[in-house]
Amino acid sequence: METSITIEVRPTEIDVMGHVNNAKYLEYMEWGREDWYNRANLSFDRFTEMNVGTVTVNININYRKEARQGEQLTIKTRPLRKGRSSYVLEHVIENEQGDRVADAEVVSVTIDLKERRSVPMPEELARQFS
């Protein structure tokens, strides 16, 4: 399943170069992941019921084109691949013209919330990768 959200670049997200600060893209992608989880019926509460957490362990991001204040950006999120406890979600951020502004692969791991160790991915999450 691919999801998308649209946001407007706010003044507080602009750096001294007059474009979106690089760290804000990570936040945009986090919003996209949260939306993806919710649409997959895997809310924070659902994970907690399963005693499972998700931890981001690696982000490989490519900055392709600058974005400026007031622009509308669309953040697309989709599953790429999964392992035993790790999985990769891809994010693509596009501007209103459809130009790719940034993209990333985000690697996360499922953990036992009490033991704080990796555990096999719950079936509910694994199904999203088929």
pLDDT tens digits, residue range 55-93? Answer: 999 999 999 999 999 999 999 999 999 999 999 999 999
The yes-or-no verdict on residue 12 having pLDDT over 90 is yes
For the purposes of burial, counting CB atoms within 10 Å of the CB of 70, is it exposed (0-12), middle (13-18) or buried (19 or more)? exposed
Active site residue 45: no
- Predicted confidence band at 28 (pLDDT cuts at 50, 70, 90)? very high
Distance CA 48, CA 42 (A): 10
Q: Which of 15, 35, 45, 99 is labelled catalytic?
A: 15
pLDDT of residue 130: 85
Domain count, the chain: 1
- 96-112 pLDDT, tens per residue? 999 999 999 999 999 99
Parent domain of 80 = 3-129
CATH classification at residue 94: 3.10.129.10
What is the model's pTM? 0.94
- 33-44 pLDDT, tens per residue? 999 999 999 999
In one letter, which amino acid is 36?
Answer: W
The yes-or-no verdict on residue 47 having pLDDT over 90 is yes
Shortest CA distance to 13 belongs to which of 56, 66, 59, 64?
66
